[in-house]
Amino acid sequence: MDGPVMRASAFTGPFACLCTAIGVVLLPVPPAAAAAPAKPALAAKPPVKRPVKRKAVKPPPVVATLAVSPPVRSADASRLIAWIASARDNGTRPYLVIDKHAASLSLFRADGTFVGETPVLLGIGVGDDSSPGIGAKKLADIGPAERTTPAGRFVSKFGRAFGGQRVLWVDYANSVALHAVITTNKKERRVARLLSPTPDDNRISFGCINVGTRFYTQKIGALFGKAGGIVYILPDTTPFDTVFPRVRLLPYLGAADGRSS
């Protein structure tokens, strides 16, 4: 048989006949060529660190510091302070002197050493006596004229007020205390009043004395905290010698103990 030679195969039956009829030569499939050796994987390049862009941080704004002028001590306050030291009227207790005209407080140790001076807020009413029975009244029932800070000498101790607040009781019977400045009513601007350069706007309370929080806590609290002390409050309208008559003896106290007046 001329023509292409057909390789015997294991195909039989109709499929073998079909292949013969159409003259298809079945050739063996050569084995697959050996796979080329794999190329070694390239080492991964380390990621390039790009500089992180940081937002520029703006410096905090400069806050202007309010310069508070030291209170100006009145002549009567200076006389009273000199007399207390000479007569040792405070005994063995620390003391403070409140000058209502200057709206200031001067603080002293028991031995007369000056500790510091600070502005204060006082009762909005001008006067030197508390209205009878005012300690039993509700705040809403106390009129502006009754909201006075009394003048005189008071033996004071720390205690609790309504609501648990710790205050220095000046006149407990009439509910007059010395405490840190109250800021609950923003319209009253009590802190701003303390920082103002004049005492003209320091009348705002119901009669209590308000002091800056830091001075109250760190200085008054430190000195009066254990056994209390003496509080001297100068008058508004009552003659000074009427409230503190023994101060008139000051010129003689210095001579009595060998000191000049």
For residues 71 and 104, the answer to whether their CB atoms sit within 8 Å is: yes
In one-letter notation, the amino acid at residue 249 is L
- Each residue of 54-86: pLDDT tens digit? 555 555 444 334 445 566 789 999 999 999 999
> Quick one: pLDDT at residue 11?
42
Three-point CA angle 218, 222, 156, nearest 5°: 115
pLDDT tens for each residue of 1-40: 443 334 444 444 444 433 443 444 444 545 544 455 555 5
Percent share of the chain, pLDDT over 90: 56
Give the mean pLDDT of 91-118: 97
Higher-confidence residue of 135 and 16: namely 135
Residue 158 · residue 167 · CB < 8 Å? yes
DSSP calls for 121-146: EEESB--SSPPTTGGGS-GGG--GGG
How many Cα neighbours within 13 Å face the side chain of 88? 5
What is the per-residue pLDDT across 35-62, written as a single tens digit (0 to 9) for each?
555 555 555 666 666 665 655 555 544 4
Q: Which residue has the higher pLDDT, 11 or 141?
A: 141
Structural domains of the chain sorted by starting position, each given as residue range(s) with its CATH number in brackets: 75-256 (2.40.440.10)
Instruction: Give the residue carrying structure tokens 């202007």.
Output: 64
Task: Give the burial class of 124: count Cβ atoms within 10 A of its Cβ; 0-12 exposed, 13-18 middle, 19 or more buried.
Answer: middle
